[in-house]
Amino acid sequence: MKHFDYRKHIRLPEFDYSNPGIYFVTICSYKKKHTFGKTLDGQIELSALGEIVNKNWFKIPDHVYGFQSIEFCVMPNHIHGLIELNENNNSILGSIIGSYKSSVTREYNNRRSEACLAATKVWQPNYYEHVVRNENAFDWITEYIRMNPENWTMDEENRHASKSNPFYHWLNTYWK
């Protein structure tokens, strides 16, 4: 029997993700459903799940030595984080993200079981990351995360987006 791997490999093949550095991370909700909250007048109003997503992000440094959250934003169907792994880091980026996703899913499903509801998936199977390599990239990404709730109508993850955000063009052409 043949094994088919349908998942796209999106990591840099020769890069060590335990290296100190700054990383831009995007993690999408399962099937990109709007389960983390909604935007109102350029602000995000978190759902109960969105509150768990937010709270658990800021608990990561309690479990991962050398992790710092620089910027973070919860959107209706995804999160963005700009993180730094310093030289004393004791984990690989993928392990950190996997543990974070597991902690959110576990807490949410524990709450669902208390209410006699079935367990559910919270996240897409993978995540997106971009290695921040210079100050220009850092500035673009920081501003993008800060302005993301206001720019929801232009967000690539918003299936009802009315126009495109120039950030995506910059990100997709930056290293070409």
The reply to whether 167 falls in a domain is: no
The reply to whether 176 falls in a domain is: no
The reply to whether 170 falls in a domain is: no
What was the pLDDT predicted at 118?
Answer: 85
Q: Which domain holds residue 113?
A: 21-160
> How many domains does one find in the chain?
1
> Residue 48 is part of a domain; what is its CATH number?
3.30.70.1290
User: pTM score, two decimals?
Assistant: 0.85
- Rounded to 10 deg, the angle between the 93-114 and 48-57 helix axes is 140
The reply to whether 165 falls in a domain is: no
Q: What is the pLDDT of residues 6-44, one digit of tens each?
A: 445 555 667 777 789 999 999 999 999 999 999 988 899
Q: How far apart (Å, rounded) are the C-alpha atoms in residues 80 and 146?
A: 10
